[in-house]
């Protein structure tokens, strides 16, 4: 398969909230972006799945003035520690708790200002409105924690559709159903574009770009039970690592305890445990014997996910529930009219022949968002590999969230446009293009097997089983070593034996899967090493041998790199610039928020 050569200023890989924002920003700054999207732009990845949007902190004053004040405050805090203004201290502490104190604190202040002053006003200017009451006040849960567009559960879908229209209206070139599978130029120390399998049209492309933005999102599809869709196979993390970028926080993986146990394809629509619109009540969780083991509203948090996992583990240990079923989410305490009016899920349950207000729903655990990803300067989204930027959930500087992804896209798009202008054309990489052409030819030319050779999707399933068995919430050295052994065996045995079953050029999803397999192996392996290396429990990272959170020694990032096919791990302290955790060392199960 010979690659067609394509040139652009800024290559944006990914078409979620982050990718769309990056392309729009680059275009607004005079660059010519090309978007390459594995699924459909605005309609794939996590973006359409988002239920709601975190409400902005009230920030009086114009944005430029706030930014200036923040810059002065940040610089002064670098010399003498200054208190965080009382109005923001609680919100910031909560944000840092959700991010386990492993992220840059300035990033959150900058993002919060941008969200209040730019994200929400632009959202409504573009024609999508957060739900409001007759007085024009956003119709949020009673604690005001978030806003919804239309109804709870529809927010991401509508946001994605609006961004899709904006990108198309801006005349940005978009290749949908085209998967980037290798960054070019990595060996030269700078990225000069990417190889793209345009599987919808059956073409191979070598895209030469002056700057590249990776915006490929979370890694949700890595485990058997997951909140993700198939394009979330961790390609971005794997490509960046092979190009020499460092990754961090890969061990901090979020899980949902209350996803629907069945049908499997409905897992993304999890039984929402967070605050609900129109009511002060929330869901409860119960076991097979209908004993309530967690009343979610007893915990003062908008994100109860890790507390749910801790409570569920007790039930699993006592044999009263399983990780893949036997626990139930129950909304029977919530006023039925609040569910029907505000919850889009209501209709889904109805279609399953169930009543959200009366039935309880069997739940199971899923692999959800990854806090970890590619390291970048959170002020610019530069990765440290020249010409390579990241944006959104592919990064390690935050957990996720539509406004965060959009903010990153705005930074990365601006940086990439600047870089394209200043740096001019990238170095050629003919040898790499030829090597990738050869790789595809090899995958497509394997002899038709005797029926025993594993198909790419079968190997992917085996990887997902390894993750489900040994890399979910309850992690131990023995389990992680077993995972590493299983992944190595798949790499040595299944990978060479794997056969692409179709020679078709167009929509050859077997070929897309075959390219994903190697990426999934790489990323799962790095995540297992990172998990092995963190010898404490922190948020959703629970190590059975270390049931404590050690803020004295472990406010450190686990940083991984791939060097010569090996995974190298190091630890890097995180600077606690404004706030620090309250306790030095805590019992992980005794403290719900540890
Ligand atoms: C189930 C679920 C519920 C969530 N709920 C909320 C919520 O209520 N509120 C909230 O704020 N956030 C929520 N989030 C998080 C939020 O949706 C994400 O953090 C955010 O959408 C990430 O945006 P992104 O653009 O970085 O990635 P994504 O939206 O995942 O986009 C990734 C894009 O990359 C493309 N892609 C992937 N690989 C390749 C490749 N190799 N080549 C080309 N393209 C590629 C995909 O097709 C997709 O277009 C939720 C996430 C999930 C999974």
Q: Using CA positions, which residue lies closest to atom 27 of ligand 1?
A: 217
CA 216 to ligand 1: nearest atom: 34
Specify whether the CB–CB gap between 546 and 515 falls below 8 A. no
pLDDT on residue 265 = 67
Asked whether the predicted pLDDT for residue 307 surpasses 90, the reply is yes
- Which residue CA neighbors atom 50 of ligand 1 most closely? 50
Helices 17-28 + 402-423 axis angle, to 10: 40
Q: How far is the CA of 218 from the centre of ligand 1 (A)?
A: 6
The class level of CATH for 3-252+370-423 reads alpha beta
Indicate the domain borders of the chain: 3-252+370-423, 253-369
Average pLDDT over residues 429-442: 95
pLDDT of the residue at 267: 64
Distance 222 CA to ligand 1 centre (A): 14
Q: Where are the beta strands (DSSP E) in 131-270?
A: 146-147, 173-176, 179-183, 193-198, 203-214, 247-248, 253-260
Task: Determine the CATH number of domain 253-369.
Answer: 3.90.700
Cα–Cα distances (Å) from 237 to 51, 61, 375, 488, in that order, read 25, 39, 10, 19
Q: Is the pLDDT of residue 450 over 70?
A: no
Query: What value does the mean pLDDT of the chain take?
Result: 94
pLDDT tens, position by position, 201-231:
999 999 999 999 999 999 989 999 998 888 9
pLDDT in tens, 150-198: 889 899 999 999 999 999 999 999 999 999 999 999 667 899 999 999 9
**Ligand 1 pocket, Cβ-based, cut-off 6 angstroms:** 13-19, 36-39, 44-47, 49-53, 156, 179-180, 215-218, 220, 227-228, 231, 235-236, 268, 369, 392-393, 400-402, 405
What is the DSSP code (8-state) at residue 510?
H
Q: What pLDDT was estimated at residue 268?
A: 65
pLDDT per residue as tens digits for the range 227-267: 888 899 999 999 999 999 999 999 999 999 999 998 776 66
pLDDT tens, residue by residue, 516-571: 999 999 999 999 999 999 999 999 999 999 999 999 999 999 999 999 889 999 99
Q: What is the mean pLDDT of residues 433-457?
A: 87
Q: How far apart are CA 170 and CA 514, in angstroms?
A: 34
CA of 23 to the centre of ligand 1 (A): 16
Q: What pLDDT shows up at residue 52?
A: 93
pTM: 0.97
Quickly state the pLDDT bin for 318 (edges 50, 70, 90). Answer: very high
pLDDT at 328 (0 to 100)? 97
pLDDT tens, residue by residue, 74-103: 999 989 988 888 878 888 898 899 899 999
Which residue's alpha carbon is nearest to atom 4 within ligand 1?
50
Q: What is the pLDDT of residues 376-413, one digit of tens each?
A: 999 999 999 999 999 999 999 988 899 999 999 999 99
- CB-CB neighbours of 380 under 10 Å: 15
pLDDT in tens, 7-57: 999 999 999 999 999 999 999 999 999 999 999 999 999 999 999 999 998
Find the 135 Cα to ligand 1 centroid distance in Å: 33
Q: What is the 379 CA–ligand 1 centroid distance (Å)?
A: 21
Q: What is the DSSP letter of 301?
A: -
User: Is 395 buried (19+), middle (13-18) or exposed (0-12) by CB count in 10 A?
Assistant: buried
3-state SS, residue 34: strand
Read off the pLDDT of residues 293-303 as tens digits, 9 standing for 90 and up: 999 999 989 99
């Amino acid at each position: 398969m010979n690659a067609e050569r394509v040139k652009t200023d800024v290559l944006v890989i990914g078409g979620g909230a982050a990718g769309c924002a990056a392309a729009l920003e680059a275009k607004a700054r005079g660059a010519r972006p090309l978007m390459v999207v594995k699924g459909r732009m605005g309609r794939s990845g996590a973006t359409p799945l988002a239920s709601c949007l975190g409400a902005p902190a009230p920030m009086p004053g114009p944005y430029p003035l706030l930014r200036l004040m923040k810059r002065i405050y940040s610089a002064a805090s670098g010399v003498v520690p200054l208190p965080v203004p009382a109005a923001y201290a609680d919100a910031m502490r909560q944000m840092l708790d959700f991010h386990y104190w492993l992220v840059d604190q300035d990033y959150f202040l900058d993002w919060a200002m941008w969200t209040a002053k730019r994200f929400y006003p632009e959202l409504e200017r573009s024609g999508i409105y957060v739900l409001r009451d007759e007085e024009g006040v956003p119709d949020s849960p009673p604690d005001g924690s978030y806003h919804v567009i239309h109804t709870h559960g529809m927010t991401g879908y509508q946001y994605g559709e609006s961004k899709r229209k904006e990108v198309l209206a801006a005349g940005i070139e978009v290749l949908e159903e085209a998967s980037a599978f290798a960054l070019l130029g990595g060996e030269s120390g700078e990225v000069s574009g990417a190889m793209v399998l345009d599987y919808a049209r059956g073409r191979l492309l070598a895209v030469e770009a002056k700057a590249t933005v990776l915006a490929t999102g979370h890694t949700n599809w890595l485990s058997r039970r997951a909140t993700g869709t198939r394009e979330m196979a961790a390609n971005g993390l794997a490509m960046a690592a092979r190009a020499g970028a460092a990754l961090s926080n890969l061990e901090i993986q979020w899980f949902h305890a209350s996803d629907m146990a069945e049908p499997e394809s409905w897992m993304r629509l999890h039984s929402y445990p967070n605050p609900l619109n129109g009511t002060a009540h929330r869901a409860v969780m119960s076991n097979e014997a209908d004993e309530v083991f967690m009343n979610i509203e007893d915990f003062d948090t908008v994100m109860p996910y890790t507390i749910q996992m801790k409570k569920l583990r007790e039930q699993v240990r006592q044999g009263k529930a399983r990780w893949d079923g036997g626990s139930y989410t129950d909304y029977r305490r919530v006023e039925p009219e609040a569910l029907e009016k505000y919850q889009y899920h209501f209709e889904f349950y109805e279609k399953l022949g169930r009543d959200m207000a009366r039935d309880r729903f069997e739940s199971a655990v899923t692999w959800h968002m990854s806090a970890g990803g590619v390291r970048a300067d959170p002020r610019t989204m530069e990765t440290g590999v020249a010409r390579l930027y990241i944006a959104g959930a592919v990064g390690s500087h935050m957990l996720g969230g539509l406004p965060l992804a959009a903010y990153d896209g705005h930074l990365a798009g601006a940086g990439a446009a600047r870089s394209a202008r200043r740096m001019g054309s990238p170095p050629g990489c003919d040898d790499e293009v030829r090597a990738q052409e050869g790789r595809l030819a090899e995958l497509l030319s394997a002899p038709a097997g005797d029926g025993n050779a594993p198909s790419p999707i079968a190997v992917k399933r085996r990887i997902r089983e390894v993750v489900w068995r040994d890399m979910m919430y309850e992690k131990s050295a023995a389990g992680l070593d077993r995972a590493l052994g299983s992944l190595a065996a798949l790499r040595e045995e299944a990978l060479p034996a794997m056969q692409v079953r179709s020679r078709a050029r167009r929509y050859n999803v077997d070929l897309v899967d075959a390219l994903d397999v190697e990426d999934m192996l790489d990323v799962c392996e790095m995540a297992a090493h990172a998990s092995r290396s963190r010898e404490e429990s922190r948020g959703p990272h629970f190590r059975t041998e270390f049931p404590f959170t050690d803020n004295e020694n472990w406010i450190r990032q686990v940083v991984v790199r791939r060097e010569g096919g090996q995974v190298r791990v190091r630890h890097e302290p995180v600077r606690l610039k404004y706030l620090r955790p309250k306790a030095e060392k805590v019992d992980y199960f005794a403290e719900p928020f540890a």
